[in-house]
């Protein structure tokens, strides 16, 4: 069944809703799964490591501090994430190569686009609580996203 976040909000009033501001860029417009978190600022080294590992239908939530000075995801990393079974990525920051990412079988939401890549300094934290958009994302919780928005739940939700 397709993910429809307004229906999830109606059926599960306890879900948290991320504040508006994200745009859908991926080839999959509705996606969801267990959360893996990355906290990084203008360095996507940890994102690069994680997309190279099996995603098992999970969603990577990347707290880039809202920076709009470079891109934390590009076409090569998005293609690697898709081929390794990630359901999607939420980027609190920017992405690039949006035309290719839009053709990739992956859910991707971000604040915007920027053509410059990040430096790789090996800086970032994996599976730590991250907070943005009025929501704290915890590893092991669940995220559902579509063109209407992003919702977060402590447990998996039944999609009818």
In this predicted model, what pLDDT tens digit does every residue of 100-118 receive, in sequence order? 999 999 999 999 999 999 9
pLDDT, average across residues 80-104: 98
Assess contact for 47 and 93: CB atoms under 8 A. Answer: no
pLDDT digits (tens, 9 = 90+) for 25-56: 999 999 999 999 999 999 999 999 999 999 99
pTM, 2 dp: 0.97
Domains contained in the chain, CATH given: 5-153 (3.50.30.40)
Which residues belong to the annotated binding site?
A: 74-77, 96-97
Which residues belong to the annotated binding site for Mg(2+)?
A: 97
In percent, how much of the chain has pLDDT > 70? 99
Q: Name the strand (E) or helix (H) holding 75.
A: helix 75-83
Closest by CA position to 150, among listed 18, 3, 14: 18
Which residues belong to the annotated binding site for substrate?
A: 74-77, 96
pLDDT of residue 1: 63
C-alpha–C-alpha distance, residues 78 and 65, integer Å: 20
């Amino acid at each position: 069944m397709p993910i429809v976040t307004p229906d999830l909000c109606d059926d599960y009033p306890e879900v948290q809703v991320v504040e508006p501001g994200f745009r859908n860029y991926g080839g999959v417009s509705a996606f969801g799964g267990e959360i893996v978190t990355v906290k990084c600022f203008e360095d996507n080294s940890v994102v690069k490591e994680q997309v190279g590992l099996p995603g098992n239908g999970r969603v990577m939530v990347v707290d880039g501090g809202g920076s709009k000075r470079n891109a934390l995801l590009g076409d090569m990393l998005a293609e690697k994430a898709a081929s390794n079974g990630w359901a999607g990525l939420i980027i609190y920051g920017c992405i690039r190569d949006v035309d290719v990412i839009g053709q990739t079988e992956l859910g991707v939401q971000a604040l915007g686009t920027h053509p410059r890549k990040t430096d790789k300094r090996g800086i970032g934290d994996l599976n730590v609580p991250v907070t943005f958009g009025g929501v704290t994302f915890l590893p092991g919780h669940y995220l559902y996203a579509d063109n209407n928005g992003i919702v977060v739940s402590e447990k998996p939700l039944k999609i009818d």
